[in-house]
Amino acid sequence: MKSNKKNNEKINIKPIRNGVSSQIVHKSAKKTLTIPQRLKIMLLIFFLLLILLIGRLGWLQIVQGADLKEAMYNQLTTSRLISPKRGTIYDSTGKALARSAQVDTVSINADKIVVKHEDEEVAQIKTKALKEKVAKAFSDIFELDYDETLRKVSSESKTVQTIAKKVEKDKIDKLKEWMKENKIYSGINIDEDTKRYYPYNDLASNLIGFCGTDNQGLEGIEAKWDSVLTGTPGKIVSSQDAVQDLIPDQNKTYIAAQNGNDITLTIDANIQTIAEKYLEQACKENKCSDGGNVIIMDPSNGDILAMATYPDYNLNTPFTPTNISEEDWEKLSSEQQNTTLQTLWNNRAITSTYEPGSVFKIITAAAGLEENIVTEDQANVFKCSGYQKVANMEIGCSNKSGHGSQSLRDALKNSCNPAFMQLGKKIGAATLYRYYDAFGFFDKTGFASSEEVSGVFWKLQNVGEVELATMSFGQRFRITPLQMITAVSAVANNGVLMQPRIVKEITNTDTGAVTSIEPTQVRQVISKETSQKLLDMLKTVVEDGTGKSAKVKGYTVAGKTGTSEPDDNDNSKYVASFAALSPAESPEVVVLITLYGPRAGSHSGSVVAAPVASQILSEVLPYLGIPSEITESGTKNNKTTTLPNVVNKTVSEAKKKIEKAGFNCKISGKETDIVTEQMPRAGTPLLKDATVFLYTQGNDTRVSQTVPNLKGMTISEAKSALKKKNLNIKITGSGVVTNQDIPAGTSVEEGTVIVVTLQKK
């Protein structure tokens, strides 16, 4: 049979091998791959994929590594501040007046409070429910507004948001228990923090001030010394897993917080308590509409021993006023409430001015004495008929019938306005302004607290006859109580003006290093002689003048009353004040009481303020260890101490030894010179505050003094008379002086001891 080449294709028939039929293959079919060939292809593909994977990893690791690492840390790391501990404020005895306690701050990373799910819609629903659950827990535990809390928790912000500050331990424990029960950790931060506490509540509140919720000082010492007390925050940046366990990582950053410094004030909490007790009592008894203040100062160094304001407030709850009922408070508008709080927080001793009244006559008298325009006891220098005619005005005296002819001592004792108008006219405005400037009335004192203001005076060119007259007795200008007591303290300090000091030490809490703030001497305002004359006259004011109510049993007190009248041109009120200096011969304490708007009857400083000075001094003087002239048995205390031998010692060594024994020291020569003579001689029994003269080789210029007539004087008067002459006294008996061992008129060396005999009348 012939094949059909056109219509049929050639068929290859393979013989059957081993019982298997031959495979018939279509001529046009592709050649089948063998197993080895297939393996080669698979390996090739595998290696290609491996190369691509390695390339991708290299790209991610090398090229995009930094960016991806940053993105990873943005998701997993937490960066939070470490709050430093605010420094403690101590009083001069070491009592903590303001301290910080450990609390916690709760914050969130809202973007981390999420539920992950492969279904995006399900994830959103569950995340929403989680955020609501967290917000509900926060609002319940911390007593917060739920809607406001939910807004924070639902925020898309990646920054840390604060939920609650200054949280006490019990609430933190509740939060931790809730987190554990609900297994919710991610996005909730609990950080250590501090909270400000004031152990004595309202003690010295207007002076100390308080802090806000962020530990920043807002008022008083807390505000002025904020940068010293605050410290520097630290920072921690760390990785955390889903349950907030730290992930070990070499990239963790920790910067330790630097705690704030402690400061020690000059005030004594015990003296502050005494001042506040009697100030509150006076304000209530005299119905002082605008309260009052008391300042107590050590004139030798300017230290403020107490600074009290009434009404005060609780430093732990400063936004809750203590001088108004809750019912009346709610009736006030928000603006009125803010004004009330600001007024309550003010430290009126430095932030408010007042007309000082007759206390300011001390300054006018100082200028008159220093300029040699007047002497303390020259008779008939001033005349008072009950008023003084100035220009076309009659300016009255407190004594409507007049005081007649007077010396300067009489004028101070009687607080006579016409006498001081006459003295002011003799001195002149330009000279008076020079003394006002020297006493510091035109400038702030530099007191280390917030918001101090300065005095308000006429411009010199605008001072006419009336202005000169009124300012001579302390009216129609304004100063701060702190300016007034600083000036009076200069009189007490031998004429040397000291800057008021409130902070005496700063302690670095990390290193323990102590920085002392030394007393600052501003200037010599008046001479020591003028100072002693003023003290002697001011003692007469208390012993026999308008200041009798300021007497303190067993102590001598110098002082001056003040009563400033309202100005018809403003809304001012009466201000009653009193300045007291004690002991009168050599003051160690100066007290200024200022009462605003007394309306219980009298508004006179002699009636309203002077008794407060007596009450305060009767407790403060013994507390400070200042010896009384009266012993427990009621007799005069004239205890003596034996004068040590300091010959052949350096002046510096001798001075320390003399002062340690309780005596004053007058030196001739340099501190490195050797003492060759002392007067009185070693072994002499002397009263406290006796004056010892030291002489060195080449500096032995002795001064002689005339012994005054002491007969008929009291102990205090005899001491004062001899002190003016730089002479010492030894006392036997009690009563008044009936005899003195060195007759009056005798010339003796300074330092000589005059023995006086006293008998009762």
Q: What is the distance, to the nearest Å, from the Cα of residue 654 to the centroid of all Cα atoms in its chain? A: 37
User: Considering the domain boundaries, does residue 66 fall inside one?
Assistant: no
Same domain, 481 and 611: yes
Same domain, 145 and 220: yes
Same domain, 367 and 456: yes
Query: What is the Cα gyration radius of the chain?
Result: 43
Return d(Cα 104, Cα 431) in angstroms, integer.
61
Return d(Cα 315, Cα 209) in angstroms, integer.
7
User: Considering the domain boundaries, does residue 628 fall inside one?
Assistant: no
Q: What is the pLDDT of residue 687?
A: 87
Same domain, 492 and 522: yes
Q: What is the pLDDT of residue 72?
A: 52
Q: What is the pLDDT of residue 81?
A: 66
User: Considering the domain boundaries, does residue 618 fall inside one?
Assistant: yes
DSSP code string of 544-563 = HSTTGGG-BTTB--EEEEEE
Residue position matching structure tokens 């930094």: 66
Range 241-250 average pLDDT: 44
Same domain, 478 and 554: yes
Going by C-beta distance under 8 Å and a sequence separation of 6 or more, which residues neighbour residue 573? 289, 290, 566, 596, 597
Q: What is the pLDDT of residue 668?
A: 81
Looking at per-residue pLDDT, the higher value among 62 and 311 belongs to 311
Q: What is the pLDDT of residue 519?
A: 94
Winning range, highest mean pLDDT, from 583-587, 686-690, 732-736: 583-587
Tokens for 617, please give them: 């001094």
Exposure b/e, 282-294, CB count within 10 A at least 16 = b:
bbeebebebbbbb
- Evaluated on CA atoms 649, 653, 655, 661, the torsion sign reads negative
SS3 102: strand
User: What single DSSP character describes residue 87?
Assistant: P
Same domain, 646 and 572: no
Looking at per-residue pLDDT, the higher value among 5 and 439 belongs to 439
Q: What is the pLDDT of residue 481?
A: 98
Tokens for 144, please give them: 């917060």
Return d(Cα 258, Cα 83) in angstroms, integer.
9
Q: What is the pLDDT of residue 631?
A: 52
Burial class (CB in 10 A: 0-12, 13-18, 19+), 186: middle
Going by C-beta distance under 8 Å and a sequence separation of 6 or more, which residues neighbour residue 180? none
**Contact assessment for residue 679 and residue 752, using Cβ atoms and an 8 Å cutoff:** yes
Helix ranges (H only) for 262-374 are 269-285, 326-331, 334-345, 348-351, 361-370
Q: What is the pLDDT of residue 10?
A: 43
**Contact assessment for residue 368 and residue 337, using Cβ atoms and an 8 Å cutoff:** no
Return d(Cα 562, Cα 474) in angstroms, integer.
9
Q: 69-83, 417-431, 567-581, 668-682 — which is least confidently predicted?
A: 69-83
Same domain, 361 and 464: yes
Return d(Cα 214, Cα 150) in angstroms, integer.
22
The half-sphere exposure of 550 on its side-chain side, counting CA atoms within 13 A, is: 36
User: What single DSSP character describes residue 649?
Assistant: S
Q: What is the pLDDT of residue 661?
A: 84
Write down which residue in 265, 283, 302 finishes a domain: 265
Model pLDDT for residues 51-98, shown as the tens digit of each residue: 888 877 777 677 776 665 555 555 545 556 667 889 999 999 999 999
Q: How many CB atoms sit inside 10 A of residue 437's CB?
A: 13
pLDDT at 549 over 50: yes
Q: What is the pLDDT of residue 236?
A: 63
Same domain, 549 and 498: yes
User: Considering the domain boundaries, does residue 24 fall inside one?
Assistant: no
Model pLDDT for residues 7-34, shown as the tens digit of each residue: 444 444 444 444 444 444 444 445 667 7
Which CATH number do you get for residue 375? 3.40.710.10
User: What single DSSP character describes residue 462?
Assistant: G
Q: What is the pLDDT of residue 438?
A: 97
Return d(Cα 669, Cα 667) in angstroms, integer.
6
Q: Could you give phi then psi for residue 678, rounded to 5 degrees?
A: -135, 145
SS3 583: coil
Burial class (CB in 10 A: 0-12, 13-18, 19+), 336: exposed
Helix (H), strand (E) at residue 534? helix 528-544
SS3 664: strand
Return d(Cα 236, Cα 660) in angstroms, integer.
54
**Contact assessment for residue 539 and residue 556, using Cβ atoms and an 8 Å cutoff:** yes
Which CATH number do you get for residue 721? 3.30.10.20
Which CATH number do you get for residue 171? 3.90.1310.10
Q: How many CB atoms sit inside 10 A of residue 4's CB?
A: 7
Return d(Cα 482, Cα 308) in angstroms, integer.
12
User: Considering the domain boundaries, does residue 319 fall inside one?
Assistant: no
Residue type, 745: G
Same domain, 618 and 742: no
User: Considering the domain boundaries, does residue 227 fall inside one?
Assistant: yes
Furthest C-alpha separation in the chain: 184
Q: How many CB atoms sit inside 10 A of residue 569's CB?
A: 7
User: Considering the domain boundaries, does residue 39 fall inside one?
Assistant: no
Tokens for 130, please give them: 């989680």
Q: What is the pLDDT of residue 67?
A: 65
Return d(Cα 343, Cα 348) in angstroms, integer.
9
Residue type, 367: A
Provide the β-strand partners of residue 108: 161, 188
**Contact assessment for residue 653 and residue 678, using Cβ atoms and an 8 Å cutoff:** no
Average pLDDT, the chain: 87
Going by C-beta distance under 8 Å and a sequence separation of 6 or more, which residues neighbour residue 651? 667, 669, 670, 671, 672, 673, 674, 675, 694, 696
Provide the β-strand partners of residue 675: 696
Tokens for 630, please give them: 């009266």
Q: What is the pLDDT of residue 20?
A: 43
Provide the β-strand partners of residue 307: 295
Model pLDDT for residues 351-404, shown as the tens digit of each residue: 999 999 999 999 999 999 999 999 999 999 999 999 999 998 999 999 999 999
Alpha carbon of 430 to those of 176, 374, 426, 678: distances in Å? 73, 17, 11, 45
Range 325-338 average pLDDT: 90
Looking at per-residue pLDDT, the higher value among 563 and 732 belongs to 563
**Contact assessment for residue 586 and residue 532, using Cβ atoms and an 8 Å cutoff:** no
Q: Is the peptide bond before 587 cis (omega within 30 degrees of 0)?
A: no
Confidence band, pLDDT 50/70/90 cuts, at residue 636? low
Confidence band, pLDDT 50/70/90 cuts, at residue 243? very low
Q: 104-118, 467-481, 514-528, 605-619 — which is least confidently predicted?
A: 104-118
Same domain, 454 and 543: yes
Residue type, 341: L
Q: What is the pLDDT of residue 710?
A: 92
Write down which residue in 572, 597, 623 finishes a domain: 623
Strands 77-82 and 234-240, by their bridges, are: antiparallel
Going by C-beta distance under 8 Å and a sequence separation of 6 or more, which residues neighbour residue 9? 27
Range 279-303 average pLDDT: 96
Same domain, 581 and 656: no
Backbone dihedral region for residue 210 (phi beyond 0: left; psi -120 to 50: alpha; all else: beta): beta
Residue position matching structure tokens 């950053």: 253
Range 691-701 average pLDDT: 86
Counting the structural domains of the chain, the total is 3
- Reference 195, options 91, 81, 104; nearest CA is 104
Looking at per-residue pLDDT, the higher value among 395 and 102 belongs to 395
Model pLDDT for residues 117-172, shown as the tens digit of each residue: 888 888 888 888 998 999 999 999 989 999 998 998 888 877 888 888 878 888 88
Write down which residue in 214, 245, 265 finishes a domain: 265
Domain that includes residue 660, residue range: 640-759
- Evaluated on CA atoms 53, 59, 61, 62, the torsion sign reads positive
Same domain, 88 and 236: yes
pLDDT at 408 over 70: yes
Strands 404-406 and 514-516, by their bridges, are: unpaired
Q: What is the pLDDT of residue 97?
A: 96
Model pLDDT for residues 649-690, shown as the tens digit of each residue: 888 888 888 988 888 998 888 888 888 889 998 888 888 889
User: Considering the domain boundaries, does residue 67 fall inside one?
Assistant: no
Return d(Cα 676, Cα 668) in angstroms, integer.
10
